[in-house]
């Protein structure tokens, strides 16, 4: 996440993520699933512009960036009111701070929706940070992390520098130094709903693979890390849309270091050897109509560094 504060506004660039590993351990009594997942931020960014207002209203305008490949399916409208986590994040900060202030916000989307790339969660984290900075609240980081967890399981991750093992329902964060990985990410024309994918999945218990994956990444051994990619939601997602199998078969034909679905899908990514390799593969996948295709790198950055 990167922040600029030109005059009275706050502008946040907030990244997408991919899950290098995602184990679904068990279903919990509260309806969530206990997971262990290794996440890295990647260089596809949404932009949030936050302008503090004296009036109490929270105004949010959302639009896709010009020519955004993210608009892969034409039905993917972005909600602009309280249904949007950005709006709820700002309302939550305002309530916690006991302020009677409002905001005018513009959210420019590039991260595809219903994709397992954390777009809505990333936007919510950006909104928390923007409101916190614009209203000069000076809270400890942990206070924002707690608010983030209330908004959604993936939101606290986006307050890290860009890589973490996440446990619990996803909100318990153990950061690690972001690795440098090049990837190609394809979001097919069909998206998937996170609750539907979770309810179709079969929890498989814990294996402790996440620690080994992080150790490989810390040693810079991308090939070994790629051999440990896993996603316990992929079979469930593949039962919900044929696109997952189709993408898997396409990536198997390509010369990638490793590949799998991200999060609850429907995006699928392959790890490439270099940025050039990722760009070449992205061009090839675009030519075979695989939806919105991005060449990306792991992203580093933090609002409070
Ligand atoms: O936390 P969040 O609101 O993003 O989760 C959306 C839905 O995804 C939850 O209501 C739940 O159905 C499912 N989920 C889950 N286990 C998790 C995270 C999400 O079952 N660890």
- DSSP notation for 110-136: -SPSSSSS-HHHHHHHHHHHHHHHHTT
Q: Find the Cα–Cα–Cα–Cα dihedral 39, 42, 47, 51, rounded to 10°.
A: 50
pTM of this structure = 0.96
33 CA: nearest ligand 1 atom:
16
Burial (CB < 10 A; 0-12, 13-18, 19+), residue 81, is exposed
Q: How many A from CA of 99 to the centre of ligand 1?
A: 30
d(CA 162, CA 297): 11
With a Cβ cut-off of 6 Å, ligand 1 is lined by 32-33, 35, 152-154, 169-170, 194-195, 198
* The predicted structure's pLDDT at residue 275: 97
Atom 8 of ligand 1, residue of closest alpha carbon: 195
212 included as an active-site residue: no
pLDDT, position 164? 97
Distance 153 CA to ligand 1 centre (A): 7
**Which CATH code, of 3.40.50.620, 3.40.50.150, 3.30.70.890, 1.20.1250.20, is assigned to 182-297?**
3.30.70.890
What pLDDT shows up at residue 75? 53
| Domain boundaries of the chain, sorted by first residue | 2-175, 182-297
Atom nearest to 154 CA in ligand 1? 4
* H-only helix segments in 34-181: 85-97, 119-134, 141-151
Q: Is 46 a catalytic residue?
A: no
Query: In which residue ranges of the chain is pLDDT below 50?
Result: none
Atom of ligand 1 nearest to the CA of 170: 21
HEC profile for 190-211? CCCCHHHHHHHCCCCCCCCHHH
Q: Residue with the nearest Cα to atom 9 of ligand 1?
A: 195
Compute, in angstroms, the gap from residue 197 CA to the centroid of ligand 1.
10
Q: How far is the CA of 195 from the centre of ligand 1 (A)?
A: 6
* Residue 211: C-alpha distances to residues 20, 167, 217 (Å): 12, 12, 10
User: pLDDT tens-digit profile of 114-144?
Assistant: 999 999 999 999 999 999 999 999 999 999 9
pLDDT at residue number 80: 85
> Which protein residue has the closest C-alpha to ligand 1 atom 12?
195
What are the φ and ψ backbone dihedral angles of 237, each rounded to 5 degrees?
Answer: -65, -40
Domain 2-175: which CATH number of 3.30.230.10, 1.10.10.10, 3.40.50.150, 3.30.390.50: 3.30.230.10
Q: How many C-beta atoms surround the C-beta of residue 193 within 10 A?
A: 13
Q: Report which protein residue has its CA nearest ligand 1's atom 4.
A: 152
The confidence score (pLDDT) of residue 71 equals 58
Handedness of CA 232, 236, 239, 240 (dihedral sign): negative
- The whole-angstrom distance between residue 249's C-alpha and the CA centroid of its chain comes to 24
- Which residue shows structure tokens 């790890």? 271
Tokens of 111: 């991260």
Q: Which of 195, 200, 206 to mutate to test the pocket of ligand 1 (most atoms within 8 A of CB)?
A: 195
Which pLDDT does position 77 carry in this prediction? 76
Confidence (pLDDT) at 2:
95
Q: Per residue, what are the HEC states of 245-274?
A: HHHHHHHHHCCCCEEEECCCCCCEEEEECC
| Catalytic residue from among 109, 154, 172, 245 | 154
Tell me which residue has its CA closest to atom 19 in ligand 1: 32
- Asked if residues 235 and 248 have their Cβ atoms less than 8 Å apart, the reply is no
């Amino acid at each position: 996440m990167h922040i600029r504060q030109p005059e009275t506004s706050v502008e946040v660039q907030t990244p997408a993520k991919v899950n290098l590993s995602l184990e679904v351990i068990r279903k919990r009594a509260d309806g969530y699933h206990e997971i262990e997942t290794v996440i890295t931020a990647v260089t596809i960014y949404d932009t949030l512009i936050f302008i503090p207002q004296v009036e109490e209203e929270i105004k949010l305008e959302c639009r896709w960036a010009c020519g955004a490949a993210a608009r892969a399916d034409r039905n993917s409208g972005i909600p602009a009111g309280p249904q949007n986590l950005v709006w709820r994040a700002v309302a939550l900060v305002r309530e916690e701070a006991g302020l009677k202030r409002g905001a005018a916000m513009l959210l420019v989307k590039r991260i595809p929706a219903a994709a397992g790339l954390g777009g809505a969660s990333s936007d919510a984290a950006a909104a928390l940070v923007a409101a916190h900075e614009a209203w000069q609240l000076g809270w400890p980081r942990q206070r924002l992390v707690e608010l983030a967890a209330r908004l959604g399981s993936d939101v606290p991750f986006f307050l890290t520098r860009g890589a973490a093992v996440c446990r619990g329902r996803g909100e318990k964060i153990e950061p690690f130094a972001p690795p440098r990985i090049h990837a190609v990410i394809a979001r097919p024309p069909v998206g998937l709903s996170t609750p539907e994918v979770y309810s179709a999945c079969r929890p498989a218990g814990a294996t402790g693979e996440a620690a080994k994956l992080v150790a490989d990444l810390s040693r810079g051994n991308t090939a070994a890390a790629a051999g440990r990619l896993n996603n316990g939601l992929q079979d469930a997602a593949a039962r919900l849309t044929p696109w997952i199998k189709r993408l898997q078969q396409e990536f198997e034909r390509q010369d990638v270091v490793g590949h799998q679905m991200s999060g609850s899908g429907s995006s699928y990514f392959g790890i490439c050897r270099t940025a050039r390799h990722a760009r070449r593969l992205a061009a090839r996948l675009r030519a075979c109509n695989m939806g919105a295709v991005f060449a990306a790198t792991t992203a580093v950055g933090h609002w409070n560094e």
